Amino acid sequence: MGAKMMQWIGKAGAYIKSMPKSHAAMRYIVWYAVLIILCCTIYVCAWTYDWYTQPRADLVELRAFLHEIASAAWIAVIGFLAKSFIDRDNNGIPDQYEEEKEDQKCKE
């Protein structure tokens, strides 16, 4: 399983490195999403290790983590990431940011 994970990480790194400079916004968004997933994975692994080494599971801590994940701030982050991955014209700039630039041009 470790070899498969390293292979997957290698493919993801190659994909990000192969992005042209014009796709800089998408590169930052992908890294942000990976960081969030990595932090959540580390937390769950640490909780599982604590459960394994202690005679009981720390359900209060797990409940607090799940409550935090389901909070409005996390839902906003997921919404931001979902909108940021939409790039219909494949120019490397997410569509929501292009719309803001077009709106500013129309106002002037």
The rounded distance, in Å, linking the Cα atoms of 59 and 51 is: 9
Confidence of residue 102 (pLDDT cuts 50, 70, 90): low
Whether residue 47 contacts residue 58, with contact meaning beta carbons closer than 8 Å, is answered with yes
Average pLDDT over residues 69-73: 83
pTM of structure? 0.56
Q: What is the end-to-end Cα distance of the chain in Å, rounded?
A: 56
C-alpha pair distances (Å), 44 with each of 33, 63, 102, 103: 17, 12, 42, 42
Q: What percent of the chain clears pLDDT 70, i.e. is strictly above it?
A: 82
The rounded distance, in Å, linking the Cα atoms of 18 and 92 is: 12
